[in-house]
Each structure stands twice: as structure tokens, then as C-alpha cells.
Amino acid sequence: MKIAMVGSGYVGLVSGACFADFGHDVVCIDKDQSKIDRLHDGIMPIYEPGLDALVDANVKAGRLSFTTDLAEGIKGASAIFIAVGTPSRRGDGHADLSFVYAVAREVGESLSGDAVVVTKSTVPVGTGDEVERIIAESGCTHRVSVVSNPEFLREGAAIGDFKRPDRIVIGAEDDFGKEVMREVYRPLFLNEAPTLFTGRRSSELIKYAANAFLATKITFINEMADLCEKVGANVQDVSRGIGMDNRIGPKFLHAGPGYGGSCFPKDTLALLKTAEDYDSPVRIVEAVAKVNESRKRAMGRKVIEALGGIDAARGKKAALLGLTFKPNTDDMRDSPAIAVAQALTDAGVNVAAYDPEGMELAKPLMPKVVMCDDPYTAIEGADAVAIVTEWDAFRALDLDRVKELANAPVIVDLRNIYRPDDMRTKGFTYTSIGRP
Ligand code: NAD
């Protein structure tokens, strides 16, 4: 089966490579010429573990190719996936659907046969109806079914998530759409991946509801962590204690600096806008978005506190370890590190940072921060070291060396990766999240 993937970013490239690995014939399309050139040279435009080998193997097997030419790329494809970005629209927080609609128009104008057009991008309820309208308006005379198939992969574990998903959600309104999607995912059905067929609107909403729920879980435990600090309880014990209840479950209960990334912040915001448009408020999600936003900067204040408070902090040096919103990705979109760095530089603190993969994308977002080649260079002369992202590289720091290099043995662990007792025994002034 031939599949076209329009948009070759985190989702499009990973999905395209995985579909090719299943045995489909896949063309990944992107309008970014430099991205496609790099892919032709075997250079991945993103950092995602295992992706380069997967792409390489499938290109060599002749199942995966890349182009900027949409009309050529979709020729003969039974399924055309739209996997372009849907960022927050500037000013109002609605999902910006201009990229999705531009692709729909181009697809409608270029189609040379019957096809299923699948929205994999995260899009608000009703977008499928609009995509259908745009394609019909473009004068396309072929049979087209517009299907919603949201993606749930996590960056950093994207290939595993795509190949062994918790579930596949397919929102289709007709048999043609359902049949083609069954064919697309047949290799996963054989692996018994749970599949849910729904109407298109339900499928579109499932993605937002899932992300909003996860964002709520994180924000809930973060607020519990703040309460733990006040009452002398340990949030890790509280997490374990509630997570052992099967109705709650242990995942997404790790207190930290607030959620970030390319999905939760923009998707919670977009859901709020949909709810507003339909006059059906989602007040819990409203609170979650607000609490999370203020938390990120509060984490900067936590580091300032460790530097001796706002007056003492001016002119001192802080080292940030980790900048990406989570480990194993280079994605900096809405990372809490941005607000932490901003709060620190606003307070006149000199900031040095190290991240294994994220520094190139981080640089323009935090121009006053000095990027270092390794963690120890960042730590040299620092009055406080803040662990912002829990990369494995920071889990086993040479603590003697840290103490030797730093100006003061002060660590602010925003990911709770060290044990308070151990750190104090080693002579550090150590603060973390929600732990005595
Ligand atoms: P991305 O920014 O990494 O990639 C989007 C790509 O689309 C870019 O390479 C861009 O050049 C390309 N593009 C834009 N307009 C185009 C056009 N007209 N023709 C061809 N290519 C075009 O975005 P992403 O992170 O892959 O996200 C894509 C969608 O998937 C979003 O809606 C996002 O919310 C959703 N999603 C993302 C993740 C994630 O972890 N990143 C997970 C699930 C869902």
C-alpha cells in the first residue's frame, strides 16, 4: 500500500518511517527544502533515539523516500496523512490551522485518484469537516474520505510508542475510510494493538481530552508537592500511596517544574478555546493551564532563593543542567527551562547551561545564557546548580567534582533525581520538589 505523509517533523517522520518498516511504500513530504535535503543525505532533522537507523534501513529497502513535491508524492497513495504543525495562534491561543488547511487545498488540487485523507495533526473538533469542505471546493472529482487518526507518541520514546501503542483511534464517517485505515494499520492489528473506531468528532476530541487529563494529573501532583513542602510530607511517598490505587495508577505523578513541550501547553489552551466557542466551559483545564504557567517562573524563584534571595542573587552564577522539556529529545518548545532562565537573568543572575541535545534550539530562546560543552564547565564557579531536565547524564554526576568546581555546594533538583539524605551527607545544601 502506498502512503503519503505530508509534514516530516517529529510526528510525520517517525510515523512515515514506522509505516515503511511495516512494509508499506511511504513518501514523506515537507515544504522545508533543507529538511528534505538533509534527509536525502541521511541526516535526521530531529533527535529521536533509533530514528536514524530506522530511516536508513527503510530507505535502503526502497520503502521510504522524501520529496518537497506534494503532487508527485501523493500520486497513487491510498492514504494521505496530514502531519503538519498546529501551534497556538498568536494572540488568542486557538490552534493555528493554516498549515492543515493549506495542505488540504493542495491535496484537493493535486489528487489523481481516490484516496483517504487522514488528519494526524492534533486538530480541534470540526476540523475534519472543514478539510472535507476545502477538498470538495478545490474541484477534486475523486472519491475522498476524510478521517481523523490522532497520534499519541511521546518524543524520546516515539518509535516504541508508534509500534506498540496503547491504542489506535480512528474517527471515520464511511466504510471507504474505515477499510483503508484497517489496511494501513493491519500490521498492528496482527500485534493485537487495541483499536477504537469512532466518529470523526469524537476522535478529534479524544486527543485533546487525553492531553488535558494528563496535564491535570501532573499539575495535581505538583500542587500536592507544594503542600508537602509546607506540611513536612514527602510527595514521592504521596505519589506512591495514591498511585497504588488501580483507579488512579502510578504514571504521570512525578512532581517537577511544570509540564512543557510541543503538546500539553498548546493543546490545553486550544481545548479551552473550543470549550469557549461552544459555551461549555472546562474550568478544571482552565485552572490547570494557569497553575502550570505560573509554576514555571516560580521554579526560577526557587533557584533565586537558593542563591540567597533576590538581593543576594544579583551578579551570582547559576548553572542549569538540562534545557529540553524532557530527556531524549532536542525539543525546546514551551520548556520550563525557558521561564527558569528568564526569571534568573531578569534577577541579574549570570546563567550557564548544558543540555546533551537541546542547546542549538535553546540558544535563540535564551540569548543571555552561556551554553557550555559539558555539565562541569557550566558548574565551574556556580553559586547554585539547578537540575532542570532529568537526562541520564545528570543522574550520576561526579559529586566530588561538582563540589570542587562550584563556588558553593548548592543544588536545586527540580526533578527529584537525587536523595536528600545522600546529598546532605555529601555536604550539599540541597533542595528539591515536595520533599523534606
Ligand atoms: P513539527 O513542527 O516537528 O513538523 C511539522 C512539519 O510540517 C514541518 O517540518 C513543516 O515544515 C511541515 N509543513 C508545514 N506546512 C507544510 C506544507 N504545507 N506542506 C508540507 N509540509 C509542511 O510538528 P510535530 O511536532 O511533528 O507535530 C505535528 C502535529 O502532530 C501537531 O499537530 C502536533 O500537535 C501533533 N502531535 C505532536 C506530537 C509530538 O510529540 N511532537 C505528538 C502527538 C501529536
Write out pLDDT tens, residues 175-191. 999 999 999 999 998 87
Query: How many angstroms separate the CA atoms of 302 and 14, rounded?
Result: 37
How many angstroms does the Cα of residue 172 sit away from the middle of ligand 1?
22
How large a percentage of the chain has pLDDT more than 90? 98
CA angle 404, 407, 413 (to 5 degrees): 85
Residues 248-290: pLDDT tens digits? 999 999 999 999 999 999 999 999 999 999 999 999 999 999 9
Cβ partners under 8 Å of residue 3, min gap 6: 16, 19, 24, 25, 26, 27, 77, 78, 79, 80, 81, 184
* pLDDT recorded at residue 90: 86
| Residue 30 binned pLDDT confidence (cut-offs 50, 70, 90) | very high
Q: Which of 307, 295, 235 is nearest to 265 (CA)?
A: 295
Is the CB of 269 inside a 6 Å radius of any atom of ligand 1?
no
Mutate to test the pocket of ligand 1, among 6, 8, 10 (most ligand atoms within 8 A of CB): 10
Residue nearest to atom 2 of ligand 1 (CA): 85
DSSP category for residue 89 = P
Cβ partners under 8 Å of residue 175, min gap 6: none
Is the CB of 12 inside a 6 Å radius of any atom of ligand 1?
yes
Flag whether the ipTM exceeds 0.95.
yes
413 beta partners: 387
Which residues are catalytic, by number? 263
Is the CB of 30 inside a 6 Å radius of any atom of ligand 1?
yes
Nearest atom in ligand 1 to 7's CA: 7
* pLDDT recorded at residue 189: 84
Query: How many angstroms separate the CA atoms of 17 and 403, rounded?
Result: 45
Query: How many angstroms separate the CA atoms of 317 and 387, rounded?
Result: 14
Is the CB of 73 inside a 6 Å radius of any atom of ligand 1?
no
Amino acid type, 159: I
Nearest atom in ligand 1 to 29's CA: 20
What the chain holds in terms of domains, given with CATH numbers, is 2-198 (3.40.50.720), 208-289 (1.10.1040.10), 295-431 (3.40.50.720)
Cβ partners under 8 Å of residue 74, min gap 6: 4, 6, 27, 29, 80, 107, 110, 111, 112, 115
67 beta partners: 29
* pLDDT recorded at residue 191: 79
Is the CB of 121 inside a 6 Å radius of any atom of ligand 1?
yes
Query: How many angstroms separate the CA atoms of 60 and 58, rounded?
Result: 5
Residue nearest to atom 18 of ligand 1 (CA): 103
